[in-house]
Amino acid sequence: MARSLQEEFWAGEFGNNYIERNDGQDLVASYTALFVNVLQHTDRIESVCEFGANIGLNLVALHTLLPQAMLTGIEINQKAAERLAALPYVRAIHSSIYDPELESRLGGAGQYDFVFTNGVLIHQAPALLDKAYDILYQASRRYIMVNEYYEPKPVEIEYRGNQSVLFKRDFAGELLDRHPDLKLVDYGFVYHRDTHFSGDDSTWFLMEKR
């Protein structure tokens, strides 16, 4: 199923251990605060698709804010996908985001009002990023959000003693350049020292198809 060294990494034991380190209501609260800020710049979101959903904490937060929306999550790690599938309001898809059959499993192009990643593009193979951007673009009917580590120029960071699995760059800028009909709607920073809803020093960017 995995299409790269990075996907193999997350599909395996490291991805299993990540589940245990990243679970709890404090994260759901932080994600809810994040999406309150993002969604105030959107309207009429009835369908959502998350690429790299893990156990679904982002979708739990979104269900609180958009209780009537159809929620779909795509996840490469089997254990995480099983947890995701246990959420009764989420359609879980256990798959690589690069699977050529994924678009048909999602119902075709342009099926979702709001498509997003949260700490997922930073873990993709740089050589596959253009493909990842195209997949996000094709899945979206209107909005795309990426919440990732921002850096003006690409840089690789050691991640818990592992190499070639964490990268910082201007993901949103590259997406905007690759698909010129996207416009930047808003952006914001999530600071780890926020006393109420701390984050991981990531930057979110909301884009809309013209």
Say which DSSP state 129 is in.
Answer: H
pLDDT for 48-57, tens place per residue? 999 999 999 9
Residues of the chain falling short of pLDDT 50: none
Helix axes 25-39, 57-65, angle to 10 degrees: 50
pTM of the model: 0.96
pLDDT for 143-191, tens place per residue? 999 999 999 999 999 999 999 999 999 999 999 999 999 999 999 999 9
Q: What is the pLDDT of residue 24?
A: 84
Q: How far apart are CA 173 and CA 114, in angstroms?
A: 18
Cα separations in angstroms, 162 against 21, 123, 173: 17, 12, 27
Q: What is the pLDDT of residue 22?
A: 87
Q: How far apart are CA 194 and CA 94, in angstroms?
A: 34
Greatest distance between any 2 Cα atoms in the chain? 43
Q: Which residue type, as a one-letter code, is found at position 208? A: E
CB contact at 8 A, 145 and 26: no
